[in-house]
Amino acid sequence: MTRTVLVTGATSGIGRVAAERLGARGWRVLVHGRNRDRGAQVVDAIESAGGEAAFHRADFADFDAVRGLAARVREEPRLDALVNNAALSAGEYREVEGVESTLAVNHLAPYLLTHELLPLLRESAPARVVVTASGVHYRGDVDPDDLSVDEYDALDAYARSKLANVLFAVELADRLDPEAVTATAYHPGFVPDTGLYRDASLPVRAGTWLAARVPFVGTSTSEGADGLVYLTDSDEVAGVTGAYFAGRERTTPDSRAEDRALRERLWDVSADLVGVDPDWP
């Protein structure tokens, strides 16, 4: 039986490295990204190493595109893991579907994608959902009843989206049978040499470019991908759910992850924003 994984944001950074490593481990890898040329390169790399892969293009700033991606993935006979890794850090305020773009792409898109693919994940049980979060979630602030932005700050927006990722992963785990589907959140460390900051402001892009070239500053893409592969593939974490990992180490997220009322309210508001019934799964 060949296991199948969808890795979003798999055409660059830790997503690409994780996709290639999972392919080398015998997974059929569904490679997601926005750029067809980069997607073809990842597929070629996996197949050249003896693996199996297919590319699926979708822009997470378009919820219809997310639904289209899910529809194509549902044509697969099985889906053993969903790695919600795609993310952005927007340097300027923009809106997607009436919502600030960083929150929309980093939280609402994977929320919707998981909703659309959960039936297939359950049919393929035991299956896993892995959400790439960030340690910056500790400084994030999210009010589900007021997602407006008065004064936009790129780091604050990113931190808010990453806190939403952690809240979503914990709430998803709480709603699922862990023998069927598990859900975990993952902090890869500060990975400056990645495509994450391509939409950030010029000072942020310049700073991350310099950080990527200074020894012992930040985490390499290879190190950052290690935890994604571990949470997706390792028997050591089979059945582990609702947990937050930094690298391979289970650690404690922000205390707000234990706030059930906050998690449930964000869940319900997110469902309304993407147009699904909040009473899922």
Show the tokens assigned to 116.
């659309």
What is the four-CA torsion angle of 118, 120, 121, 125, rounded to 10 degrees? 140
Catalytic annotation on 158?
yes
Closest CA to 104 of 57, 153, 160: 160
Check: CB of residue 60 under 8 Å from CB of residue 109.
Answer: yes
What is the maximal distance between C-alpha atoms in the chain?
51
Closest CA to 109 of 275, 263, 259: 275
Half-sphere exposure of 21 (CA within 13 A, CB side): 20
Parallel, antiparallel, or unpaired for β 95-96 and 249-251? unpaired
* Cα–Cα distance, 253 to 64 (Å, whole number): 32
Alpha helix positions (H), the chain: 13-24, 36-48, 63-73, 101-103, 109-123, 154-175, 202-211, 221-233, 260-274
> 226-257 in b/e burial notation, b at 16+ Cβ within 10 A?
bbbbbbbbeeebeebbbbbbbbeeeeebbebb
For the beta carbon of residue 212, count every other beta carbon within 10 angstroms.
16
Marked catalytic residue, from 158, 186, 197, 244: 158
Parallel, antiparallel, or unpaired for β 28-33 and 52-57? parallel
Catalytic positions are: 158
